[in-house]
Amino acid sequence: MRRFPAPVAVVTGIDEREEFGLTVGSLVSVSLEPPLVCVAIGKDSARHEPMRNAGGFAASLLSAEHAQLAQHFARSGVPPVALWAGVATRPGVQGPLLEGALAWLECRTWAEYDAGDHTLFLGEVLSTELGMPGRGLVYHDSTYHPA
Ligand SMILES: Cc1cc2nc3c(=O)[nH]c(=O)nc-3n(C[C@H](O)[C@H](O)[C@H](O)COP(=O)(O)O)c2cc1C
């Protein structure tokens, strides 16, 4: 799969007023009617339970300039305060939205499926917003590239 470029997004949410976020390469479009997307979250991740509790999530679809941000949200063990320090966001309904993204999705969790060491979260897309047009960010061969 390392040879298969994956678009990069940051999924965020709010669990008991605490905001969480993580970098994902698994966000895919699944259905148009109703509009559904899917993301796979590792059960070992500290963000897995918050994701389950939140009942929904936001996704910021990263631009080619966002490689550092993607790295930041992929770090382990970052305390919540440090996670958001210096990160330009604006509030969303389901979670913080990262400024400068290509687009944003806000979803409520439609279904959860057990998938081995991950859980698949299907999100019903409640709203979408477009940012500035530009190249997306992909992860390929363990490196970030412009799409
Ligand atoms: C490019 C990239 C894509 C990733 N995609 C996913 C993903 O789809 N699902 C996931 O659970 N973690 C993914 N991760 C890992 C998470 O961003 C993060 O490192 C992990 O949730 C950290 O868990 P921890 O806080 O328990 O250490 C990805 C990391 C990178 C760098």
CATH of the domain at 104: 2.30.110.10
Q: What is the residue with the minimal CA distance to atom 26 of ligand 1?
A: 45
Give the C-alpha separation, 115 to 105, whole Å: 23
| 147 within domain boundaries | no
| 1 within domain boundaries | no
Residue type, 145: H
| 89 within domain boundaries | yes
- Torsion sign across C-alpha atoms 101, 90, 38, 51: positive
CB 71 within 8 A of CB 143: no
CA 89 to chain centre: 14
Range of the domain at 70: 6-142
What distance in angstroms lies between residue 21's CA and the mean position of ligand 1's atoms?
A: 10
Q: Is the pLDDT of residue 137 over 90?
A: yes
Task: Give per-residue pLDDT as tens, 86-104.
Answer: 999 999 999 999 999 999 9
**Shortest CA distance to 117 belongs to which of 41, 50, 39, 6?**
41
Task: Give per-residue pLDDT as tens, 30-84.
Answer: 999 999 999 999 999 999 999 999 999 999 999 999 999 999 999 998 988 899 9
| 81 within domain boundaries | yes
Q: What is the mean pLDDT of the chain?
A: 97
Residue 80 has a pLDDT of 83
Residue 81 has a pLDDT of 85
Number of domains observed in the structure of the chain = 1
